[in-house]
Amino acid sequence: MLKIIIPVIALLLLVIFWKKVEEFFFNKFKIKINYIILIFVIIASFIIGILLYD
């Protein structure tokens, strides 16, 4: 049960405090976090596609 509850709470907190997280990453690394997420989603989709069709 904790395997489900803890990630849901973490995701909920991430959604609630998204603007502060984005500002922190932009000030720290000078890169928009949206680009990091986009790259991660593209790579994950590519890997899933390879695993499904291999």
- Please answer whether residues 39 and 27 qualify as being in contact, where contact means their C-beta atoms are separated by less than 8 angstroms: no
pLDDT digits (tens, 9 = 90+) for 2-50: 777 888 888 888 889 888 888 888 888 887 777 777 788 888 888 888 8
Please give the model's pTM, rounded to 2 decimal places. Answer: 0.51
Domain boundaries, the chain: 2-53
Q: What is the pLDDT of residue 5?
A: 84
φ, ψ of residue 3 in degrees (nearest 5): -65, -25
What's the farthest any 2 CA atoms get from each other in the chain? 41
pLDDT attached to residue 49:
83
N-to-C CA span, the chain: 33
Residue 54, pLDDT score: 64
